[in-house]
Amino acid sequence: MRLPGWYWLSSVVAVLAACGAGAEQAHNLTEELRDASAQAACPARLEGRGKCEGSQCGFQLTLPTLTLQLPQQLGNMEQVLKEVRALKEAVDSLKKSCQDCKLQADDHGDPGGDGAGPAGDNRVQELESQVNKLSSELKDAKDELQGLQGRLETLHLVNMNNMEHYVDDKVANLTFVVNSLDGKCSKCPGQESTQSQPVQHLIYKDCSDYYMIGKRSSETYRVTPDHRNSSFLVYCDMETMGGGWTVLQARLDGSTNFTRYWKDYKAGFGNLEREFWLGNDKIHLLTKSKEMILRIDLEDFKGLKLYALYDEFYVANEFLKYRLHIGNYNGTAGDALRFSKYYNHDLKFFTTPDRDNDRYPYGNCGLYYSSGWWFDACLSANLNGKYYHQKYRGVRNGIFWGTWPGISQAQPGGYKSSFRQAKMMIRPKNFKP
């Protein structure tokens, strides 16, 4: 930048003034300024420029090398500047590589990973919608799978029952053939010794078979309802309504505790001559062997005796949780097993205090009512309840038959009726006494 003439001149004058000479003096004493001592005192020199005349003459000022004393902090300036330069280079390089990246991404049709642009937003939305779609498809597939699983279970149960019936039919046919051959052989020549013996069934499947060979005494007999399983003892009622009954359960005096776990109800417990539960595995084999009817006999402490008859009775195996199947009701005690839409023991699984297969979602009916039974949610009948010797209060966990005369009039919290006797027994449907 060029300074104005007046500024330049005034500066020179100021320098000379600092050296102890006036302006006029400087103008007139040019020669004296050349003096060495003067030079040492003031290193700046002012001299004329070549040959000239009067006021046209120019002057030349010579200044020594300028050395400024700066604050110490300014010494770091150079280092700072270096760093700033390095930073700038780094920024430039980053900027360039960024641009390269963007160009490369554009080449590949990918708007880049920052997702900040509208293209990025679209991509995210697209991905989101795809994820939502997949999630909904997954849910549909899961529902479908559950449906299929349910159908599979139903099919499995149906097939199991069909197979059981098929095998049973075959075994029944074979037993019939064997029995008839046995009868024929006893008449064969050379078999005189056996001819004198009465023709007997090879297998007594239940009490009705003993009745058929003339047994009329009510007592225990050995039966083999299924040749693939071992035989076992049962109590036969040969008197009630023509006889031939295989007794499954009996309550007489409270001598046997019926508050028991699954394994006891499975195997059976008690005394066959008194109070007992025959056992779910045995009941299953007996009802699988032949088409059975069920008779229930009840007596209260007033001496009232009533009965219920079901023209079908089948108990499934343990795998199917001893599910109950009952047919049409007939009798005097009322159809308490199929009391209503909400209290129906037909087609229910067996539940014990340690095995909850009932339809009550908030707890175990077997635990609450102290017994093993085909509980619904929970009961309109329970012949395995506690044996009370008289009416009782509290939880209705005694022997119970919901259609018993007067029983529905019981007040909540009031006294509950109890039963002196209960008995469950079965007989083949086609039995003719």
Minimum distance, C-beta of residue 350 to Ca ion, in the bound complex (Å): 13
Q: Which is nearer to Ca ion, 224 or 344 (CB)?
A: 344
From the CB of 364, what's the least distance to Ca ion, in Å? 5
Compute the least distance from the CB of residue 377 to Ca ion, in Å.
7
Q: Which is nearer to Ca ion, 105 or 377 (CB)?
A: 377
Residues that bind Ca ion (CB under 5 A): 356, 358, 360
Q: Which two tokens stand for residue 378?
A: 């929970």
Minimum distance from residue 371 beta carbon to Ca ion (Å): 14
Residue (7 or 362) nearer to Ca ion, CB: 362
| Helical pair 118-185 and 280-289, crossing angle rounded to 10 deg | 70
Nearer to Ca ion, 312 or 356 (CB): 356
Nearer to Ca ion, 313 or 349 (CB): 349
Tokens of 160: 């199991």
The nearest distance, CB 361 to Ca ion, in angstroms, is: 6
**233: Cβ–Cβ under 8 A, 6 or more apart, which residues?**
220, 221, 222, 223, 272
Q: How far apart are CB 235 and Ca ion at their closest, in Å?
A: 32
Answer whether 376's CB lies under 8 Å from 273's CB. Answer: no
Residue 426's φ and ψ, nearest 5 degrees, are -130, 160
CA distance 409 to 403: 11
- Taking the complex as a whole, the smallest distance from the CB of residue 343 to Ca ion amounts, in Å, to 15
Between 371 and 418, CB nearer to Ca ion? 371
**Residue 266 and residue 46: Cα distance in Å, rounded?**
133
Q: Which is nearer to Ca ion, 343 or 360 (CB)?
A: 360
Contacts of 371 (CB under 8 A, 6+ apart): 258, 259, 260, 352, 353, 382, 384, 385, 386, 397
Q: Tokens 């239940």 — which residue? A: 206
What is the identity of the amino acid at 2? R
The rounded distance, in Å, linking the Cα atoms of 244 and 236 is: 7
Distance CA 335, CA 326 (A): 11
